[in-house]
Structure 1
Amino acid sequence: MEISAIIPCYNGEKYLREAVDSINNQTYPPQEIIIVNDGSTDKSEEIIETLKVSSAIPIRSINQSNHGVSAARNVGIAIAQCDWVAFLDVDDIWLPTMLEQKVKFANKYKFESGLICCNYYVDTINVSSEKHNGSPYAKLAHDRVMSSSEFQSIYLKENFIGTATVMMFSRLEALLVGGFDSFLKHSEEFDFMLRLTCNSNVAVLSEPLALKRHHGENLSNDKELYFYSHYFSCKRNVLYKEKYSRIHFSKEIKKLLQSDLEKFATGYCNQLFEKNKSQGLKAYFKHFSDMKTIIGITNHSVGFLKKIIRTITFNKIKKVV
């Protein structure tokens, strides 16, 4: 099994060497490392050139103006020379047996295409920091081959995948679904996984094989962006119809997508209200049109009424003061 390792890089001078070292330390090395330098303004480009000399695995690099991580990943997929691609975000690292364990699983189950993910550590390599700890949904998915609809039904209940760093998948299947949505500023992995798994089998290894690190530069800290991006992805994906699109979801999965759509729409309105009461109330009113289920309508209505009461109460107190 031949694998292209892809690192999207934006201002990654603090992390690049460690990321590339973790690939060079693989017990099953990839055939190539592709680094897509997405308009870095630090010393990333210089570091990449030095790594090309020192790396035991051949490194190819692309320098482009800044278009975001999704665009960088898509460039990596496009120029990859192997049938399988594996991502490593520049601020994360792979543990030494990351690729070996996935290749062993693929060989054991004759997994010729599809998506293989794994458990991982968050911020520190410690049993207590395993991402899948306490997740009943992750355990349902562990160490077996799942059909697309089975995986999606679990994944939509909880996104225990969480990062592109743990993904290894068929390059051809990624191209067939159009890669990552480069217009999304958040949750692009969530959206990509939904589309990729429409036509792919999936496996999730229970062993933690990577370290994901959080820091002040992570976009994941923006809750408003998080809720809106998930809402947008669910809304778009629920509209795909088999008659008109190569990507489509079963009725059962569309019900889950609709449920998530409603939950994230209400969450987005709540986040917006906390920043600007007037805009938040307008958003609540606008997104009533997205509510199609009794639970969604009820939760959105309750949230809306609570915000109106808070606004009225605040205005009264303000007048008294």
Structure 2
Amino acid sequence: MSAKVFCLVKSCCIAAHVLAAENLQLLAQDVISWVIVRIGASRSTELVEFMWANHYEYESDFSVLNTLMRGFLNVQMVYEALDIVGRMREVDVRPSLSAITILFRLLLRVGDYGSVWKLLRGMIREGPRPCNSNFNVMILSFCRKGYARIGESLLYVMQKFSCEPDVYTYNILISAYCMSGRTSDALGLVHLMIKNGCKPSLITFNTVINAFCKQGNVKEARKIFDEIQEVGVSPNVGMYNTLMNGYVKARDVGQANILYEEMRNRGIAPDGTTFNILFAGHCKYGREEDSLRLLRDFSSRFGSRLFII
């Protein structure tokens, strides 16, 4: 490191200390991130040692290590951030849950599952205690990689640490099952979440209904659609569109029309997607007069805003 660069790095480190001492941690982290980018990964160890050697005059052990950890996370230097977690353990301070969540996400992105499990074990032994966000990030990442079974295992593991799966947890797994064609397992998970006292969302039901429609099982999709009000969920225009699209693809334009009238009678306003689904269905499988009637109906509602995709 040249003398000029050394002086610049030293000045930036002192500036980061001062900012942290004034409770301006985000600015301190930005300064450190900029320095890391400037000097590169090979010099990052020197930066850590320099920041550590002089921090007592300005800030606590946790403060300086948190600044360094987040600085590395900001530039996605995952293993350097992981080393800071190890240093935190050595001086008996706990990394923040939010920083750990980011670290989980980056480790999973690069596929380093060994470090993921090691990090989780460290949290269980030494803290901070894993939270829903940590587990949700892991479940989402494993499901995106095609490891839904691991995600499902984490669903049960998290409950051992007083983390109750929430609607996001269930929705992640339900979506993964639907994408892989396991619609029956997805529906079973919906029943499980209701049994466990977790209220499904519109997204939950729409995901399952859409999956059954794609499989051509519109009958089961309609059954789910009719049952959702029993758990206190009212269908919205997006859910109606999903089921109408299922009917159209099944060439049952008549049922799509009935569903459209039902939606209107309930006071749910159709949108442009509704029109596109029904108009395309009438053009392919219906009658010309029905297409014209639909066009007049939507033109009266939307006027010049109406368009066909």
Q: Which structure dedicates a bigger proportion of its chain to strand?
A: 1
TM-score by length of 1: 0.33
Q: Structure 2 length normalisation: TM-score?
A: 0.34
- Larger relative helix fraction: 2
